Amino acid sequence: MLSDDRYYFLNINPDYSGALVRYFGDNPLTREFKSSDVKKHDGYFEVNLNPREKAVFSAWKLKSGNGKLTGQIFMYKEDGELFNMLYFPLELLSENHKLLNHEAIKSLNANYR
């Protein structure tokens, strides 16, 4: 998801560690996670970003290499009650992907690859 003042960036390493960066026109909010923070299920996986945030991702990929990844972040109050959910679509970045023309995405891609 991308606009000039709003984007999400997700990097997942082969061991399932990684980072999720959200930007809403202020300072980017980065949540790095370890492979032990990831629970894999059939068709989706959950990531504990911190004690009060969890992300759920599901994906599909065609033989051509094109695919989509969607995510949702669940935010909880201190008492554990759910108070917000953010849905966002993601795209797989290939070397010449048009999103790499956006400076922030280009920089994040360079930092995490």
- Specify whether the CB–CB gap between 37 and 47 falls below 8 A: yes
Residues 85-109 pLDDT 10s: 988 888 777 777 788 888 888 888 8
Report pLDDT for 39. Answer: 96
Angle at 49 between CA 38 and CA 27, to 5 degrees: 140
Give bridge partners of residue 57 from the DSSP assignment.
45, 71
**Res. 2: pLDDT tops 50:** no
Residues 50-91 pLDDT 10s: 999 999 999 877 777 777 788 899 999 999 999 999 888 887
**Res. 3: pLDDT tops 60:** no
Report pLDDT for 99. Answer: 80
Report pLDDT for 113. Answer: 72
Residue with the larger pLDDT of the pair 2 and 69:
69
Its pTM stands at 0.79
